[in-house]
Structure 1
């Protein structure tokens, strides 16, 4: 099982929407079973999932202190991916989360404020030597600031080839537990989400293997 943690030190980066769309896309293209975990006290990802009618992806509720054990249980259940949403500013707790990740996604909007905020996350990731990938999110097509942001980020780490556009369907679909890719299977959002998921899988494949995580064997419930 691969664990993907999505984090940004700045609110409004679109990390929860990204979590939901990537988890749904992974299931859609046959990469499941996929589980999502919401560690943000705001609980936006959990609320989205509660409104969702589709059975996949599945969600696990678990206290932060028990997360490592829960990931072990998911691996026993033959999960393929676990996507974890995080709070933006809980630095110590997020570092512990990062250490459980095979890859950390850092969504960044192409704005100076977001670029500055990304520095804190990147410092933690580099300190812990954890693979990460910047994702340019809510970007404007053909805007010079998007290209400038990608260039600036590339000096600090890898940037996903696919940029996620600033599109109304991403947020609109979330209100009733769906995603933009389910509203319009061949729309622009679906195309770029599928491309981004391929970028992420390639990044996971290219990452150096991590030592196996020791987890306590527990009885799975639910």
Structure 2
């Protein structure tokens, strides 16, 4: 089992939306079973999951203090991927979650305020010694700042080659426990999520490759 952590100490960057969408896309791509874990006290991800009609992805209620043990139980039960949503500005919880991450996905919106705020998250990930990937979310079409944001983020680490643009279907889908690919699999938003999942899957596979080489 692999663990993907979606983290940012800046609120409102789309962590929950991205976590839910990637989990569904992973299931649709036969990369499951997938288990979602919500460590945010606001419980936005669990509220979204409770609205779902579909049985997958799974949802796992865990005790952060025993997170590693819970993940081992999920792996033993056959779960292939755990995706963990994290709270903003609660460094103790984020540190505990980062400790079990195979890959950390850091969403950020292309605004000066959001870009300035990303440094604290990067510091936590680097302290944990984990691999991280930035993803630009909520971008405006043809806005120059989107490209400028990608350049700025690349100074800190890898930027996903897929940008998620601001569209109403992302918010609409989360209302009733669905995702954009379940609303309209042919939409631009669904294509972006599909491409982001393919990239994230490749990055998690790189983690596997590194581990294999080290073991050999």
Confirm or deny a common fold (TM above 0.5): yes
1:93 Cα deviation after fit: 1.8
1:166 Cα deviation after fit: 0.5
| Structure 1: runs of 5+ lacking an equivalent | 211-222
- 2:22 corresponds to: 22
- 2:144 corresponds to: 144
Q: SS state of the match for residue 104, structure 2?
A: strand
- 2:205 corresponds to: 205
1:11 Cα deviation after fit: 0.7
1:129 Cα deviation after fit: 1.3
**Aligned mates of 1:94, 1:209 — CA distance in 2:** 24
1:53 Cα deviation after fit: 0.4
- 1:191 corresponds to: 191
1:127 Cα deviation after fit: 1.9
RMSD across aligned C-alpha pairs, in angstroms?
1.0
Task: Identify, as 1 or 2, the structure richer in helix.
Answer: 2
1:52 Cα deviation after fit: 0.5
**Aligned mates of 2:145, 2:27 — CA distance in 1:** 33
1:209 Cα deviation after fit: 2.5
Is the contact between residue 3 and residue 81 of structure 2 (CA under 8 Å) also seen in structure 1?
yes
| Structure 2: runs of 5+ lacking an equivalent | none
- 1:219 corresponds to: none
Return the TM-score normalized by structure 1. 0.92
**Aligned mates of 1:172, 1:66 — CA distance in 2:** 34
Q: Aligned residue pairs: how many? A: 210
Q: SS state of the match for residue 27, structure 1?
A: helix
Q: Which runs of 4+ in 1 moved over 6 A?
A: none
Deviation by residue 1:17-48 (Cα, 9 ceiling, x = unmatched): 00000000000111110000000000000000
1:80 Cα deviation after fit: 1.0
Residue 35 (1) aligns with residue 32 (2): no
Deviation by residue 1:44-92 (Cα, 9 ceiling, x = unmatched): 0000001100000000111211211110001101211100001011112
**Aligned mates of 1:61, 1:203 — CA distance in 2:** 26
- 2:111 corresponds to: 111
Return the TM-score normalized by structure 2. 0.95
- 1:217 corresponds to: none
Q: SS state of the match for residue 135, structure 1?
A: strand
Deviation by residue 1:132-181 (Cα, 9 ceiling, x = unmatched): 10010111122100000000000000000001111110111111111111
Residues 101-180 of structure 1: pairs in structure 2 closer than 5 A: 101-180=101-180
1:204 Cα deviation after fit: 1.5
**Aligned mates of 2:9, 2:48 — CA distance in 1:** 21
- 2:89 corresponds to: 89
